[in-house]
Every structure is written in structure tokens, then in C-alpha cells.
Structure 1
Amino acid sequence: MTNQLLTFKLNDNLFAFEVFKVQEVLEYSEPVKIPCASPYVKGLINSRGTGITTVDLRKKFLLPEAEPTKDTRIIIVEVNKPTDENPDHISTFGAIVDSVMEVLETDSNNIEQPPKFGNIISPEFISGLSKKDDQFIIILNERAIFAQNEQKL
């Protein structure tokens, strides 16, 4: 089976979300601040008439901060967040990234389990690893990244 991955850069590392979980990619615009939000929550943006919470993935992953550039993008990601009333509930979040690269196709047999330690980010945020040429692609677990009841890392 083939997986499509939307690849992007953060701090010169290559990451990806599975394409079917991505709603759209937007040019960066400064989010409206949310009082008392977690430090990695940048704020709200308006997308298609809906307020979307945006997360600075650099801050979330404890990477060095960087000012937005002309290449900075917000990836709108759909996350399955079941509720008691609706087990199929989908929430939408924005992920601020340094730049979006390309959509890659990879065979699911080429996706490896991530190592349990030694990662640049917490292993719970990683769903797998793939490779392009000689560079690893860290495939992210959007449910863990955008969890409401997360634990301190």
C-alpha cells in the first residue's frame, strides 16, 4: 500500500503529515493571541470562516525559536477527536512550520517504527520514519501533538 506524505522543514529537519489528514496549506499570517494558552499555542487564525487554533511546532517540540520568513506556512490538519456525543468528531488545528517541501509517495513497507529514545522530539509525537535519498523523514502523530489532555514532557 502506498502512503502520501506532505513533507515540511523544522530547524533543518524533515517532517511529514499523512496527506489525507491535511486540509490545506496557508501562507503565514500572525495569529490572534489567546489569553492563558500554553506557550506553544500561537493563537487563532481564520480559515474558511472558522477560528483555528495554531500551534508553533518549534515551541511544541522544544526546538530553537525562529522568526517567520516568506517560506513559513501554516498546515491545517484534521484530527479525529471522538466525543461521547460524536465518536467521529474531527477537530481542525494549524501547525506552523518553517517551509513546506513536497508530497512524497512511499510504500507502507518502507515506514519504520521510530526509536524509543535519541529523537529530536518526544517519541509519542512520532508515528514512523521514512527516508528520501539519505535524509530521514519523521512522520508525525497528529493526535498526540494536538491532544487536549497532554502530559508534561
Structure 2
Amino acid sequence: MAAPQSESQFVTFSLGSEIFAVPVGVVREILDHEEAFKIPHGPDYLLGLRDVRGQGVPVVDLRLRLGMTKTEKTPHTRILVLDICIGEKQLTLGLVADRVYEVTPFRKDEIEGAPDIGVSWRSDYIAGVVRRNGSFVVIVDLARLFSDSGDVLGGLGRPVPQVA
């Protein structure tokens, strides 16, 4: 029997045909998608603000944040409201996902590091990769993805284009 510390719980979700996961402990709630209040001059991935139980929460199109195509809203589109600790600060934000699947455990010995392709690339947002059902699940390191690098919500180590 495995020790409880040998596995962690994750919420799995999709962006297109790719499956991603975040630790269940950072997920405050999962909401149906609603249009956000637009914020002028924000980066393209910042969709705006949404009221979540009296708190204005920035909503991010994670597909755009990761360099993918913009999310097309469907009946399955959801917003994961997350509380992310970045240093001494707690950041609350909503991530748009094409579909949210389940809470699932991953054993620590199943989690591989980001793939090495022989050249430097922006993979620091990948906390790990898990093989599952003949495919892969990418575990997102939210603190690195949204750490401060000079733009509104932080970056992947590269400048984020600003709206003119």
C-alpha cells in the first residue's frame, strides 16, 4: 500500500486536444463561462474581470497565455478560479479551459520533468508530465507561469505584447 505522501490530487482539463492539470489545492471553484468585463490596454490573454462572490477576479485565456489559438466558447467551456501563492503574495485568477474533467491522483514517481529537446525553450511553466491513457498530461506550474516579469500578470520570461 502506497503512503499518502506518494501521490497528489490534480484537476485535469483540456485546451484543445491537450490535457493539463493543476493541483487540486489551488482550485477555489469551477464556474460556467461568462463574458468578462473588458480591461483597456491589457495583454491579449487577459480577457477582463469577473465578479466571483464579490471579488473582481482577472480572467485569463490560458490558450493564448501558452501561445495557442484563442479559446472558442462551447457549452463545455469553464473557468477555474484559482488561488496561487507567488512568493509572499496570493494571486486569485480565473483560467479559461475548454473542458474540465476530473480530480485524479498522480503518484510522484509517475511525474516526469519537462522534455529536453536539446535547445533552450520556455518550458519553465511545466511542473511535470504524466503518461496517461496512451497520451500525456502536462502539470502546469502556476507560480512560474504568472510570476512577475514586468507585465500585468507575470510572464513566461518573454515580453507580452501590449495593445496600442
Q: Same fold (TM over 0.5)?
A: yes
For 1:59-104, what per-residue CA distance to the aligned partner results, in whole angstroms no more than 9, with x for missing partners?
111112242111000001111123xxxx3x3111110010001111
The correspondence of residues 132-151 of structure 1 with structure 2, limited to 5 A, is: 132-149=132-149, 150=155, 151=157
- 1:1-150 matched pairs, under 5 angstroms: 1-82=6-87, 87=88, 89-117=89-117, 122-149=122-149, 150=155
Q: Please identify runs of 4+ aligned residues in structure 1 that moved more than 3 A.
A: none
Q: Distance in 2 between matches of 1:36 and 1:141?
A: 26
Matches of 1:101 and 1:6, distance apart in 2: 7
The answer on whether the counterparts of 2:78 and 2:96 sit within 8 Å (CA) in structure 1 is yes
For 1:11 and 1:62, the matched residues in 2 are separated by 12
Count of aligned pairs between the two proteins? 146
Q: Is the 8 A contact 2:10 2:105 kept in 1?
A: yes
TM-score by length of 2: 0.83
CA deviations 1:46-68 (Å, max 9, x no partner) are 11110001110111111122421
Superposed CA offset, 1:9-49 (max 9, x none): 00110000010111111110101111111111111001111
SS at match of 2:39: coil
Q: In structure 2, what residue type is equivalent to 1:36?
A: H
RMSD of the TM alignment (CA)? 1.7
**Counterpart amino acid of residue 107 in structure 1:** R
When Rg is computed on C-alpha atoms for both structures, the one with the higher figure is 2
* Aligned mates of 1:40, 1:142 — CA distance in 2: 15
Gaps of 5+ in 1: none
Change in Cα spacing, 1:35 to 1:9, as seen in structure 2 (3 Å) is: same
Match of 1:123, SS? coil
Structure 2, unpaired ranges of 5+: 1-5, 150-154, 160-164
SS in 2 for 1:42: strand
**Alpha carbons of structure 1 residues 125 and 35: separation in structure 2 relative to 1, 3 Å:** same
Residues in 1 aligned to 2:76 and 2:138: alpha-carbon distance in whole angstroms: 20
Percent identity reads: 30
